[in-house]
Amino acid sequence: MARFDNKVVLVSGGARGQGAAEARLLVTQGAKVVIGDVLDNQGQALAAELGPAASFVRHDVTSEADWARAVEAAQKLGGLHGLVNNAGIYQPAALMETDDALWQRHIQINQYGCFLGMKAVVPTMERSGGGSIVNISSVAGLKGSPGSFAYAATKWALRGMTKSAAIDLGGRKIRVNSVHPGPIDTDMIAFRTPEQREERMKQVPMHRHRTPEEVAQLVAFLLSDESSYITGAEIAIDGASAA
């Protein structure tokens, strides 16, 4: 029997990068996966690659209606047992460079989107017998992050939201944990020069970036029954960056 037989997981921001790695791993371990994203072409291509165990739904995480459609897509696959709040943005700016538009964009996508997601999945997840929510935060949600004022604010917020939700939802058999990845070389930081990426890597005690697949393995563990008594936890996967 596979790890996620008869389980359905919704992954927001699942069309590429970290979210795609999570979707791929979950399908290989027996899950049915709903891939939510605003990147239609990439999301549809990934769903086609993964076969009948995956479906794509256009999903703006700031839209309650889109969350309802994503949950409905999961119900069609057999319920809802896991949510990965993976969607997010990163646009670097220090405090004095952060204007209202940049601030609000981070709050809406990274924080408000996570709030809407947790709230949207609870009724169906409870009817499915319980489940697990994994909120993707960042090492920037564990320590100060220079030049990333709005981003860091939202990632710290996810940490607190996760703990409060874990308390609120424990009686409903729903676990909630946050994952705090360290630096990675993906499209999200494509704006950095090779020299900037190299300098960033030198700041990591393990002297390398983490991979999307490494984070996906942690996410899968937290979604699985193997972590049945882990909730309200913040788990760093950062090569000791925040140690």
The residues annotated with a catalytic role in the active site are 151
Paired strand residues for 177: 134
Which amino acid is residue 188, in one-letter code? M
Q: Does residue 165 contact residue 115 with C-beta atoms inside 8 Å?
A: no
The set of residues, in sequence order, having a beta carbon less than 8 Å from that of 99 and lying 6+ positions away, is: none
**What is the arrangement of strands in the sheet containing 174-181, beginning at the earlier edge strand?**
54-58, 32-37, 8-12, 82-85, 131-136, 174-181, 234-237
Which amino acid is residue 61, in one-letter code? V
Each as own residue / partner, the long-range contacts of residues 99-102 (CB below 8 Å, 24 or more positions apart, any chain) are 102/150
| Two tokens, residue 83 | 């949510």
From CA 164, how far away is CA 176, in angstroms rounded? 9
Phi, psi of 174 (to 5 degrees): -120, 120
- The closest alpha carbon to 183, from 62, 92, 81, 70, belongs to 92
Q: Does residue 201 contact residue 211 with C-beta atoms inside 8 Å?
A: no
Paired strand residues for 175: 132
Which amino acid is residue 10, in one-letter code? L
